[in-house]
Amino acid sequence: MADLSENLIEIRGLKYSRGPRAIFDDLDLTIKRGEITAIMGPSGTGKTTLLRLITRQLIPELGTIRIDGVDISRLNMAELYQMRQRFGMLFQNGALLTDLSVFENVAFPLREHTKLTNRLIRHVVLTKLHAVGLRGAADMSPAELSGGMARRVALARAMVMDPDILIYDEPFVGLDPISMGVIVRLVRRMNDALGITSIIVSHDVEEISTVADRSFLLSHGKVAASGSPDELRDAPSELVRQFMHGMADGPVAFHFDAPGYEEQLLGRDSE
């Protein structure tokens, strides 16, 4: 029996590097059951990498990631696949399978993992598509969908196996305000109606503030700040203020590391 403590996912002392650059160094992070947790940070701080670590698409160098108290780096292939069935993941651009119709995309996990009859599959798939408002698009191909619609289909697909944990990777990027509003509402509704734990990676401060229960701001491989959106907004840290208010210069410098400006313009060119 899974230990139903408040903490669903516990990350302790996580270290991961790509090449010589450490992306995470001694990172601690806890995700509470039933909440919507946002993970924010400037581009390149490894937000997506963190998601891939949580779902063990990547393996950490040091530290542990526990889900319901189980260290996921100890799972074998079969256990891992079993664990992954508890996850639903929404990729940045939906990642719909291009050679299948919308209906078959949503039906895909059912066809691969269950022996349900066609009738039952049809029933489940149409219900999920209805929930995201796209029952009418069932016969379209993914190429015919707009960005927002593709993400909604992907959300229906992520929901189809009734996961405990839904992970959204940059769900708001490149959407028009209407589609964005639709997604925000869907995220909230899925979480509350189905008692799911949600993790959102994003840098859209506005949207996150309206939807998240708790946010973590990552910087330089560590958690720079955490708390509710309001707490973050009023945080004293300069970095947090720069990020939350979108200021061009601050601890994250506007200029990429370079030799002195004057020196380079006026100085001798290297032959």
Query: Which residues contact another protein (rule: CB under 8 A)?
Result: 52, 55, 57, 81-82, 84-85, 87, 89, 91-93, 95-99, 108-109, 112-113, 154, 157, 161
Of the pair 95, 173, the CB lying nearest another protein is at 95
121-147 in b/e burial notation, b at 16+ Cβ within 10 A?
beebbbebbebbebbebbeeebeebee
In the complex, what is the shortest distance from the CB of residue 75 to another protein, in angstroms, rounded to a whole number?
12
| Residue 214, SS3 per DSSP | strand
Long-range pairs, 125-131, Cβ under 8 A, ≥24: 125/156, 125/160, 128/156, 128/157, 128/159, 128/160, 129/102, 129/103, 129/153, 129/156, 131/156, 131/159
In the complex, what is the shortest distance from the CB of residue 21 to another protein, in angstroms, rounded to a whole number?
19
In the complex, what is the shortest distance from the CB of residue 167 to another protein, in angstroms, rounded to a whole number?
8
Of the pair 31, 110, the CB lying nearest another protein is at 110
In the complex, what is the shortest distance from the CB of residue 85 to another protein, in angstroms, rounded to a whole number?
5
Half-sphere CA count of 237, side-chain side, radius 13 A:
17
Per the CB < 8 A criterion, the answer to whether 164 and 196 are in contact is: yes
Of the pair 95, 205, the CB lying nearest another protein is at 95
In the complex, what is the shortest distance from the CB of residue 182 to another protein, in angstroms, rounded to a whole number?
21
Of the pair 141, 209, the CB lying nearest another protein is at 141
What number of other Cβ atoms are within 10 A of residue 185's Cβ?
A: 12
Cβ-proximal residues to 80 (8 Å cutoff; 6+ apart), any chain: 56, 72
Of the pair 54, 211, the CB lying nearest another protein is at 54
Of the pair 31, 159, the CB lying nearest another protein is at 159
In the complex, what is the shortest distance from the CB of residue 99 to another protein, in angstroms, rounded to a whole number?
8
Cα separation, 141 vs 154, in Å, equals: 13
